[in-house]
Structure 1
Amino acid sequence: MEVYILSTTLTHQSIPLSTVMRERRAVRTYDPTFKIARDEIKEILREAIQAPSGSNLQAWRFLVIDSQPLKEKLLPIAYNQKQVGDASAVIAVLGDLENFKFTETIYDRAVKAGHMTEAAKDSKVEGTLKMYATFPYELTSKYAYIDGGLVSMQLMLAAKARGYDTVPMAGYDVNKFKEAFGISERYVSVMLIAIGKATKEGHPSIRLTVDEVTSWNEMSF
């Protein structure tokens, strides 16, 4: 059974999810005169944050850089990758190492929404805070990167469903980026994602087959 998603572009077409996934490519050539409205970027982010996360603590945070002077400031930090300056925006996906501080807020809202009882909330909050208090940096940051990766993929698919293109970027100087944009040690930098209107399609790419990357019950590689 094919799964469809509703595009919120002017055509309001229902697009098969499989089509969105197949047609999403890493695009590096953008129309520098085209700007995505902030309200639409917010809608893309609203869909992205439906991604799963550890204990539902949603460690992802976003820094949306849509100011041209600030994109130019980012350009050398990102090794002069042209898409940084030309895309409508660059979204920095960050991981909050202190995301557990939102535990009470998240589960209070779950109670108000009727998703759980007050007693269940109290138990969940107590257990979560106790667990996260014991985590070393390595484990906390690992979970933040996992959550950041999940939300990033969902963000790129949500953008593609609207007719926009993206490219995830790991090629940038993380330390210089955090210094230049005032990002504290509370946050890890997961990736940068350029988003905009492509002027040239991304290159098609080849994938290994499912059989080449999958084992059943025991490793066979």
Structure 2
Amino acid sequence: MEIFESIAARRAVKHFDPQHSMSEEEKQRLLSAAVLSPTAFNIQNWRFIVVEDPALRQKIREAAWGQAQVTDASLLVILCADLKAWEKEPQRYWRDATKEAQEFILPAIDNYYRGKESVQRDEAMRSCGLAAQTLMLAAQGLGYDSCPMDGFDFDAVGKLINLPDDHVITMFVAIGKQTQPPWPRPGQLALDEVVIKNHF
């Protein structure tokens, strides 16, 4: 599917075919696309928890107030972020760069994040949001439907997946084959209401 068609066709689908299985090749293709998403300083702070265990999916569904897409989608990805990725061997993010680039970037990474917890968290949300959109558009391009989700008990899900203390959950993305079309778009704001030129 052409990219603009994918953008227009992508909707938050709530009803998936629980009998449909996605091939390992398709899963790898989607996740390989997601990790091409941009991150500040190339820190690649997203972590993709692919939940395949049916019993765990059922528990997560309970923590998501019974939403069927958690168990019925072919692929459930919990997008998390490592808040401390910036200080965990940051040279590996720039191993293929020139020595000059490394000497400039590595101290800049430390200076940008150290002691700034709100910056670390904001960056996590930005990075995972970009990755989620990449994942959903890639799924659309492969003929799948998707649903971004934040309607769940974050603390309960964190316990279920043994979330490390220095990580946060940002959202879910459920991917599969729809069994019911989504509602028509409820109403997009006009461009002249949301596009501001130069300043407010």
> Please, what TM-score do these two structures have when normalized by structure 1?
0.85
Deviation at residue 87 of structure 1 after TM alignment:
0.8
Counterpart pick for 1:151 among 131, 152, 158: 131
8 Å contact 2:56–2:160 — kept in the other structure? Answer: no
Corresponding residue number in structure 2 for 1:11: none
2:111 to 123, 127, 130: 130
1:26 aligns to 2:43 (yes or no): no
SS of residue matched to 2:31: helix
Secondary structure of the structure 1 residue equivalent to 2:172: strand
TM-align CA RMSD? 1.3
- Taking the aligned partners of 1:170 and 1:102, their CA distance within structure 2 comes to 31
Q: CA deviation at 1:89?
A: 2.1
Runs (4+) off by over 4 Å? none
Q: 2:92 aligns with which of 105, 114, 122?
A: 105
Q: 1:216 aligns with which of 185, 197, 200?
A: 197
Equivalent residue in structure 2 for 1:166, among 146, 150, 165:
146
Q: What is residue 51 of structure 1 aligned with on the other side? A: 37
- 1:8-58 alpha-carbon deviations (Å, 9 max, x no partner): xxxxxxx22110000011111111111112332121111122221111112
Partner-residue secondary structure (3-state), 1:40: helix
Contact 1:26 1:203 in 2 (8 A): no
> Cα offset for 1:67?
2.1
SS in 2 for 1:163: coil
Give me the whole-angstrom Cα distance separating, in 1, the residues matched to 2:69 and 2:171: 14
Gaps of 5+ in 2: none
Of the three residues 157, 164, 171, the one matched with 1:177 is 157
Q: How many residues align?
A: 198
User: What residue is the counterpart of 1:76 in the other structure?
Assistant: 62
**Aligned-pair CA distance for 1:121:** 1.3
Q: Which residue of the other structure, out of 75, 78, 100, is the alignment partner of 1:92?
A: 78
**Which structure: larger Rg?**
1
Taking the aligned partners of 1:43 and 1:76, their CA distance within structure 2 comes to 29
Most deviating of 91-100 and 202-211: 202-211
Aligned partners of 2:28 and 2:144: how far apart in 1?
A: 14
- Normalised by the size of structure 2, how large is the TM-score? 0.94
Residue 102 of structure 1: how far off its partner (Å): 4.3
Cα distance between partner residues in 2 of 1:195 and 1:67: 16
Give secondary structure in 1 for the equivalent of 2:127. helix
